[in-house]
Amino acid sequence: MSLSASTAPVSSISTNEGVETSNVAGIDVGGTFTDLVLYDARSKTVRLAKTPTTLDNQAHGVLNALEQAETDLGTLDLIVHGTTTTTNAVLERTLCKTGLITTAGFRDVLELGRRTRPKPYGMKGSFRPVIPRDLRLEVPERLYADGAVHTALDEEALRSALHQLKDMGCEALVIHFLHSYANPVHELRAGEIAAEIWPNGNITLGHSLLSESREFERGVTAAINASVQPLLRRYVERLADQLAGKGYRHDVLVMNGNGGMVSARRVAIEAAKTVMSGPASGVMAAAYTGRRAGIPNLLTYDMGGTSTDVALIRNAEPAVSNEIEIEYAMPIHVPMVDVRTVGAGGGSIARMTEAGLLQVGPESAGSTPGPICYGRGGKEPTISDANLLLGRMNPEKLNSVSSTVSLADIEAIFLDKLGRALGLTAHEAAAAVLRIANTRMADAVRMVSVSLGEDPRDYALFAFGGAGPLHATAIARELGVPRVLVPSRPGITNALGCVVADLRHDFVRTVNKPLAELDIDMVHALFDEQATEGKGLISKEKVEIEELREIYSVDMQFIGQTHLLRVPLDNPRPTLEDLQSLFEKAYFHRFHVELPEIKASLVNVNCSVIGRRSEIDLSLLIDPDGRKETLEEAKTGQRQVWFDGPMETPVYWRDHLPISAEIHGPAIVEQMDTTIVIDPGDKAVQDADGNIIIELGASA
């Protein structure tokens, strides 16, 4: 049995007045490339661009991409932008100087964490708090856990602390008091006073992003928000100015980690929500593509050169988590699409262990020196090199990348470092590398799926990223997943996510009551309040909306338990009996355990309000005029590709495939941004949107 995510379309579809958004640019800034999808519904055309990311100022790359696509900014209705500004700032700790004012006795909470270590085994490792100790000041104030005042806020001490932080050169400020989720009175008062003294608007109150208990997680979330806020503000302002200077007349929307988007004018207020927005928009594109293709249950598999991300989509809704930790002891507890980085990518290094076993990863050649085939001095065999050696990737590409490395060089290294020890030829060793890499990655995908309570066999694999489609059939086979979906533009999925993204606002309220003591009318009132607030926010955006809907859910647990289970609701008027029985069903589905002996309790009331924009015609992503009439015409040649051994294999050009092409493996489909491997016995069909759907055969 599978519980479907619930959606409740409202009866009256509200369209924001006077706004038409049919000419839309989606721009995603990734670590290496800035990608653009320009979609014009009027002329039914799509233009694409890929330019190098300009790390010092991402706006340059954005403008370059617009230029490359010959965009007429004057007629563009909407720009939706995914940026790594905040993600990079957090991961590289290039944060703004930020001060913290907190409850007396608790300034070290951000440094102490929850008493952990980076890895279960190994007593080494270090941790750097978001805000250093000298910029963390204390003021007398204290609330009890129920929100009652224990010690009043010392306003004089507060003013003095504010001046001190200002004088120390802090650009942003966090006010984080214990139990502010229960009663924000002191934080609000402190915020008022701070507004008089602080020179700019960069003030984050602890309870404002996350009104939940747990002082470390709430404090880090607020501290990250504050310390990326000025960066993001400056970036989006500069970008908006530059775009306006070139004739763009509308609002820029920025992607959030929850897969929704928000106006550039307001995005900096909750800047922390933009962290990890790139991977989130890729998953949104996958959900959109899958829904249109009639395959709404997907495991997304995004494999690039340096990392691999996995996410789960149930009934076209990506799984969302409020408890993402972006690196060791760096929690950002706001709702985000639950994207898990499960390991390295094409650069993972294969080596022999002391036990004489072949191991792939966790070491990676990264992007420098990178795999041998990059020609940047890499000398260790990697997954990418194995793909090349086995003909899965086009060996001719090697010449375009580098003239310093030949296939013979790669073969020699595989033989030398792996083959001899294993008693295998270089090609057999490369095949072994792929087999082990695929097993490991399949295990990682399975763990993600199982941890979300789902059997991977009930899902299809959505493969994207430069290397995803190379490995997808092998991993799907390993997982028992019957189908693989390769979208038409796997290399620009994140930018497509910007084009198809919804307007979205998520709300969480903590109730924490046993069902027996729960006032169900209060729950109904909370849902109404959340929905009203969300609709209000969406109506403020100058974006055309086709459909407005709300997703309701509750987080529940059995009394005495600490883990929460999300229970989707199909309407905002559940009865107590509904909650009990839906929870029991969800619990059994997830854990295969029934516990009639124990009472349930309701912890959070959640509502997401989603404004869906008009439908995008995905078939335009590959120019319909470029398609050939027959499969034969789309064939560019054939080469030896290693499956269980070498096989003569036809090679096709993706953009030339006839719209309902049917391909029987073995086959290779190449396109600008990726290579798709179809194993012997598999059957691939291209659907009307241009997705290739591979049904796995029994063999290989």
Partner 1 sequence: MTIDPITLSVIQSGLQQVCDEMDLSFSRAAFSPVIAEANDRSDGIYSAEDGSLIAQGAGGLPVFVGTMQYSTRTLIEMIADGRVAAPQPGDIYIVNDPYLGGTHLMDVRFAMPFYRNGEIFCWLSNTGHWPDTGGAVPGGFSASATSVEQEGLRLPPVRLFKQGQLDTEIYSIICSNIRVSEQRIGDVKAQAAALLVGEARLNRILDRYGDDVVSEAIAELRERAAEQMRANVRLIPDGIYRSTAYVDSDGVVNEPLEIRLAITAKDGELTFDFEGSSKPCMGPMNSVLATTHSSVYLAMRHIFPDVPISAGAFEPLTIVRPEGTFLDAQYPRPVSGCAAEVSQRIAEAVFAALVEALPDRVTAAPAGSSGNFALGGHDPARNRGFVMYQISGGGYGGNSDTDGLTNGCSTIGISKAPPVEIMEQQFPVLYHRYALREGSGGAGKQRGGFGLDYEIELLRGQATASFVMDHGRFGPQGALGGKDGKPNLVTVWQDGKAMVPEHLSKAQDIPLKPGDRVRVGTPGGGGYGNPADRDPALVAEDVRLGRYSAEEARESFGFTGSGTTQEHEVDKAPVLAQAGS
Least separation in angstroms between CB 525 and partner 1: 23
Unique residue bearing structure tokens 């072994």? 432
Q: Where are the alpha helices (DSSP H) in 71-140?
A: 85-91, 109-112
Is 629 an interacting residue with respect to partner 1 (CB under 8 A)? no
Least separation in angstroms between CB 597 and partner 1: 5
Q: Which two tokens stand for residue 138?
A: 């204390």
Is 603 an interacting residue with respect to partner 1 (CB under 8 A)? no
Unique residue bearing structure tokens 């997304």? 300
Is 124 an interacting residue with respect to partner 1 (CB under 8 A)? yes
Given a contact cutoff of 8 angstroms between Cβ atoms, the answer to whether 57 and 87 are in contact is no
Query: Is there a cis peptide before residue 572, judged by omega within 30 degrees of 0?
Result: no
- Per-residue contact string for residues 198-217; x = within reach of partner 1 by CB under 8 A: ---------------xxxxx
Given a contact cutoff of 8 angstroms between Cβ atoms, the answer to whether 645 and 655 are in contact is no
Determine the Cα–Cα distance for residues 71 and 246; give it in Å rounded to an integer: 11
**Count of residues engaged in binding partner 1, rule: CB under 8 A:** 67
Q: Could you count the other beta carbons within 10 Å of the beta carbon of residue 572?
A: 18
Is 133 an interacting residue with respect to partner 1 (CB under 8 A)? yes
Determine the Cα–Cα distance for residues 631 and 622; give it in Å rounded to an integer: 16
Is 645 an interacting residue with respect to partner 1 (CB under 8 A)? no
Q: How far is CA 99 from CA 102, 166, 606, 648, in A?
A: 10, 8, 32, 64
Is 358 an interacting residue with respect to partner 1 (CB under 8 A)? yes
Is 439 an interacting residue with respect to partner 1 (CB under 8 A)? yes
| Of the candidate residues 33, 106, 235, 527, the single one contacting partner 1 (CB under 8 A) | 106
Given a contact cutoff of 8 angstroms between Cβ atoms, the answer to whether 680 and 477 are in contact is no
Subset of 483-512 contacting partner 1 (CB under 8 A): none
Is 68 an interacting residue with respect to partner 1 (CB under 8 A)? no
Least separation in angstroms between CB 359 and partner 1: 7
Is 128 an interacting residue with respect to partner 1 (CB under 8 A)? no
Is 447 an interacting residue with respect to partner 1 (CB under 8 A)? yes
- Per-residue contact string for residues 219-248; x = within reach of partner 1 by CB under 8 A: ------------------------------
Q: Which is nearer to partner 1, 173 or 441 (CB)?
A: 441
The answer for residues whose C-beta is within 8 angstroms of residue 511's C-beta and 6 or more apart is 518, 522, 523, 526, 602, 603, 604, 605
Candidates 494, 485, 558; CA nearest to 53 is: 494
Parallel/antiparallel/unpaired status of strands 308-314 and 98-103: unpaired
**Side chain identity at 700, as an amino acid letter?**
A
Candidates 121-129, 365-373, 408-416, 527-535: pick the segment binding partner 1 (CB under 8 A).
121-129
Is 416 an interacting residue with respect to partner 1 (CB under 8 A)? no
| Of the candidate residues 42, 114, 249, 379, the single one contacting partner 1 (CB under 8 A) | 114
Candidates 80-88, 142-150, 247-255, 488-496: pick the segment binding partner 1 (CB under 8 A).
142-150
Is 563 an interacting residue with respect to partner 1 (CB under 8 A)? yes
Q: Which is nearer to partner 1, 328 or 617 (CB)?
A: 328
Candidates 175-183, 221-229, 295-303, 611-619: pick the segment binding partner 1 (CB under 8 A).
175-183
| Of the candidate residues 10, 112, 168, 244, the single one contacting partner 1 (CB under 8 A) | 112
Parallel/antiparallel/unpaired status of strands 483-486 and 78-82: unpaired
Unique residue bearing structure tokens 């795999």? 371
Is 127 an interacting residue with respect to partner 1 (CB under 8 A)? yes
What backbone phi and psi angles, to 5 degrees, belong to 37?
-125, 120
Candidates 277-285, 403-411, 445-453, 642-650: pick the segment binding partner 1 (CB under 8 A).
445-453
Is 120 an interacting residue with respect to partner 1 (CB under 8 A)? yes
| Of the candidate residues 132, 366, 395, 658, the single one contacting partner 1 (CB under 8 A) | 132
Given a contact cutoff of 8 angstroms between Cβ atoms, the answer to whether 552 and 607 are in contact is yes
Question: Residue 634, by phi and psi: left (phi above 0), alpha (psi -120 to 50) or beta?
Answer: alpha
Candidates 76-84, 202-210, 291-299, 352-360: pick the segment binding partner 1 (CB under 8 A).
352-360
Determine the Cα–Cα distance for residues 144 and 595; give it in Å rounded to an integer: 34
Least separation in angstroms between CB 115 and partner 1: 3
Q: Which is nearer to partner 1, 15 or 561 (CB)?
A: 561
Is 353 an interacting residue with respect to partner 1 (CB under 8 A)? yes
Determine the Cα–Cα distance for residues 96 and 271; give it in Å rounded to an integer: 13
Least separation in angstroms between CB 652 and partner 1: 30
Is 150 an interacting residue with respect to partner 1 (CB under 8 A)? yes
- Per-residue contact string for residues 650-689; x = within reach of partner 1 by CB under 8 A: ----------------------------------------
The answer for residues whose C-beta is within 8 angstroms of residue 253's C-beta and 6 or more apart is 78, 79, 80, 81, 261, 262, 263, 264, 541, 543
- Per-residue contact string for residues 582-601; x = within reach of partner 1 by CB under 8 A: --------xxxx-x-xx---
Q: Which is nearer to partner 1, 91 or 598 (CB)?
A: 598
Given a contact cutoff of 8 angstroms between Cβ atoms, the answer to whether 390 and 471 are in contact is no
Given a contact cutoff of 8 angstroms between Cβ atoms, the answer to whether 568 and 3 are in contact is yes
Least separation in angstroms between CB 176 and partner 1: 12
Given a contact cutoff of 8 angstroms between Cβ atoms, the answer to whether 490 and 464 are in contact is yes
Is 561 an interacting residue with respect to partner 1 (CB under 8 A)? yes
The answer for residues whose C-beta is within 8 angstroms of residue 346's C-beta and 6 or more apart is 303, 304, 305, 371, 382, 383, 384, 387, 466, 467
Candidates 538, 33, 26; CA nearest to 255 is: 26
**Could you list the residues that contact partner 1 (CB under 8 A)?**
105-109, 111-117, 119-127, 132-134, 142, 144-145, 150, 178-179, 181, 213-217, 353-359, 422, 432, 435-436, 439-440, 443, 446-447, 450-451, 558-563, 590-593, 595, 597-598
